[in-house]
């Protein structure tokens, strides 16, 4: 799946204020490496149904063993091991035995203390990895987990490592400590590095499993299809404290959703909820919905948070036009696309906006390889679009009681004609402040 930086930003997959990002809410990693690999996973959607299903299997299996996952390895253990390889240490005896190990401890106390501390962590590390390999390698394990388990076993299948796995880290002789140190430092650095990398990947996938459990995600069903489609029940924006769920679907027959409603009624939230759900599905994750079926999408492109560019002398409207132009050029390739557009042409006067929006919608709705969700504040263009059978009309209802707005956030059939700008201005006290000037 293709996705650009603008769309990643529009969907808040990553965000300058991290606690507002999807990444932040899915991050349950325990290690620095796991966190970075999770960031990589969230920025690289998968490119086939097969790879998506393999990742689904990985996350599903990890979800079944969350309560069995060992405490070690920890992030601290990994940091100790990585630091050990960078630390200057006086040479160990080539063949450690009782006497030369005793003298090394006596005359190199600082280095011996660091070595002992590291070997204790190394023992915790290989024991933990041995336990994990057993957890993820069984008759039901396939794909990625099977490969990771095989690689872990490859590095643990060493006589000295096997001794470390059964070693009592609190009751080792000086000679044993230095034998393990020689081995780790000079013969097993690659093994440690590879095992840390494997654990980082597991930590990232484990984070996605934990997120799925917390947010009640369900795994979507991908169906091979030449045309793009998706159908979902109970879809919600998982980052909200009290999300509202929606049932929605788009297909070749009805590939365009024309969305209206007052400001703050829920249009942007709905568009982002759809985009995030379909994006997460293409990461191999569960999705925030009670059920979802969909085709594989070749890309998602959005037009949600367009800005001006003062440095280049580009106006808001100019950048809106450029984004629409780029969208048309990109999706005119016969591949399956999801296109999300929020409040088209806000940067020009109403008469221009109506004309430009109508032309764009009438053109886009003819593209059979794309599914479109477009919100607008220009309700008047809804009537002439009723002639097109492939356009769905949905709106978010707003009620007014005692000069107070009431938002149901429920998606309904039809076109809204709510015009509540003045009421919001009055409710927020702006009209009163102006009257006092």
CATH number, domain at 90?
1.10.1420
Q: Specify whether 94 is located in the same domain as 206.
A: yes
Q: Specify whether 203 is located in the same domain as 231.
A: no
Closest Cα partner for 267 from 410, 419, 119? 410
Is the residue at 303 inside a domain?
A: yes
Is the residue at 13 inside a domain?
A: no
Q: Specify whether 183 is located in the same domain as 233.
A: no
In contact, 194 and 267? CB cutoff 8 Å = no
> Which domain-ending residue is among 160, 195, 215?
215
Q: Specify whether 138 is located in the same domain as 178.
A: yes
Is the residue at 76 inside a domain?
A: yes
Is the residue at 150 inside a domain?
A: yes
Q: Cα(82)–Cα(104) distance, rounded to whole angstroms?
A: 23
Q: Specify whether 56 is located in the same domain as 138.
A: yes
Is the residue at 293 inside a domain?
A: yes
Output the CA torsion sign for 252, 410, 291, 12.
positive
**Domains of the chain: total:** 2
Query: Cα dist. 423→240, 397, 405 in Å?
Result: 26, 15, 8
Output the CA torsion sign for 351, 354, 355, 356.
positive
Q: Specify whether 80 is located in the same domain as 180.
A: yes
Q: Which residue in the block uniquely carries the two structure tokens 């190394």?
A: 122
Max intra-chain CA distance, the chain: 94
- CB environment 333-363: b (16+ within 10 A), e (fewer): eeebbbbbbbbbbebbeeeebbebbeebbee
- The pLDDT score that the predictor gives to residue 287 is 97
Q: Specify whether 251 is located in the same domain as 323.
A: yes
pLDDT in tens, the chain (437 residues): 999 999 999 999 998 888 899 999 999 999 999 999 999 999 999 999 999 999 999 999 999 999 999 998 999 999 999 999 999 999 999 999 999 999 999 999 999 999 999 999 999 999 999 999 999 986 565 688 999 999 999 999 999 999 999 999 999 999 999 999 999 999 999 999 999 999 999 999 999 999 999 999 999 999 999 999 999 999 999 999 999 999 999 999 999 999 998 777 789 999 999 999 999 999 999 999 999 999 999 999 999 875 544 344 446 778 888 889 999 999 999 999 999 999 888 767 788 888 888 999 999 999 989 999 999 888 889 999 999 999 999 998 877 666 666 777 888 999 987 666 666 666 667 767 777 77
Structural domain containing residue 58: 31-215
CATH number at residue 375: 3.40.50.300
CA atoms within 13 A on the CB side of 418: 23
Is the residue at 38 inside a domain?
A: yes
Q: Specify whether 312 is located in the same domain as 204.
A: no
Q: Specify whether 226 is located in the same domain as 91.
A: no
- Give this prediction's pTM: 0.91
Q: Specify whether 207 is located in the same domain as 226.
A: no
Is the residue at 25 inside a domain?
A: no
The structure tokens listed for 392 are 């769905």
- The pLDDT score that the predictor gives to residue 347 is 67
Q: Specify whether 168 is located in the same domain as 183.
A: yes
**Which residues share a beta bridge with 157?**
none
Is the residue at 14 inside a domain?
A: no
SS3 content of the chain, % helix, strand, coil (to 5): 50, 15, 35
- CB environment 266-287: b (16+ within 10 A), e (fewer): bbbbbbbbbbbbbbbbbbbbbb
- CB environment 224-235: b (16+ within 10 A), e (fewer): eeeebbbbbeeb
In contact, 375 and 267? CB cutoff 8 Å = yes
> Which domain-ending residue is among 156, 182, 215?
215
Q: Cα(365)–Cα(360) distance, rounded to whole angstroms?
A: 9
- The pLDDT score that the predictor gives to residue 308 is 45
Q: Specify whether 315 is located in the same domain as 399.
A: yes
> Which domain-ending residue is among 180, 215, 250?
215
First to last CA, the chain: 55
Tell me if the bond preceding 73 is cis, omega within 30° of 0: yes
């Amino acid at each position: 799946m293709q996705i650009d930086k603008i769309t990643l930003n529009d969907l808040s997959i990553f965000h300058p204020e991290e606690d507002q990002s999807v990444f932040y809410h899915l991050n349950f990693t325990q290690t620095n490496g796991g966190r970075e690999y999770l960031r990589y996973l969230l920025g690289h959607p998968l490119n086939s149904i097969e790879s998506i299903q393999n990742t689904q299997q990985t996350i599903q299996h990890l979800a079944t063993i969350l309560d069995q996952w060992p405490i070690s390895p920890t992030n601290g253990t990994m940091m100790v091991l990585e630091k050990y390889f960078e630390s200057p240490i006086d040479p160990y005896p080539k063949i450690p035995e009782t006497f030369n190990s005793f003298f090394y401890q006596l005359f190199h106390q600082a280095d011996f203390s660091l070595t002992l501390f590291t070997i204790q962590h190394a023992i915790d590390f290989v024991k933990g990895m041995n336990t994990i390999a057993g957890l993820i390698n069984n008759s039901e394990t396939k794909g990625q987990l099977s490969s990771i388990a095989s690689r872990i076993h490859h590095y643990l299948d060493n006589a000295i490592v096997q001794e470390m796995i059964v070693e009592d880290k609190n009751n080792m002789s000086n000679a044993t400590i230095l034998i393990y140190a020689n081995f780790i430092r000079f013969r097993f650095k690659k093994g440690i590095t590879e095992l840390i990398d494997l654990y980082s990947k597991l930590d990232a996938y484990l984070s996605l499993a934990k997120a799925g459990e917390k947010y009640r995600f369900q795994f979507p069903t991908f169906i091979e299809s030449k045309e793009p489609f998706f159908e979902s029940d109970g879809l919600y924006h998982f980052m909200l404290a009290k999300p509202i769920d929606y049932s929605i679907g788009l297909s070749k027959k009805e590939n365009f959703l024309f969305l209206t409603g007052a400001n703050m009624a829920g249009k942007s939230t709905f568009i982002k909820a759809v985009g995030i759900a379909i994006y997460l599905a293409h990461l191999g994750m569960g999705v925030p919905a009670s059920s979802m079926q969909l085709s594989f999408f070749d890309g998602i492109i959005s037009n949600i948070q367009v800005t001006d560019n003062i440095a280049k002398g580009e106006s808001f409207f100019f950048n809106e036009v450029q984004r629409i132009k780029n969208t048309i050029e990109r999706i005119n390739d016969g591949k399956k696309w999801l296109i999300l557009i929020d409040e088209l042409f806000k940067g020009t006067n109403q008469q221009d906006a109506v004309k430009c929006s109508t032309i764009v919608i009438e053109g886009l709705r003819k593209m059979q390889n794309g599914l479109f969700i477009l919100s607008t504040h220009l309700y008047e263009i809804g009537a002439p679009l009723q002639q097109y059978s492939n356009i769905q009309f949905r709106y978010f209802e707003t009620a007014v009681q005692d000069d107070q707005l009431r938002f149901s956030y429920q998606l309904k059939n039809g076109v809204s004609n709510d015009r509540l700008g003045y009421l919001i201005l009055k409710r927020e006290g702006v009209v009163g402040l102006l009257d006092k000037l």
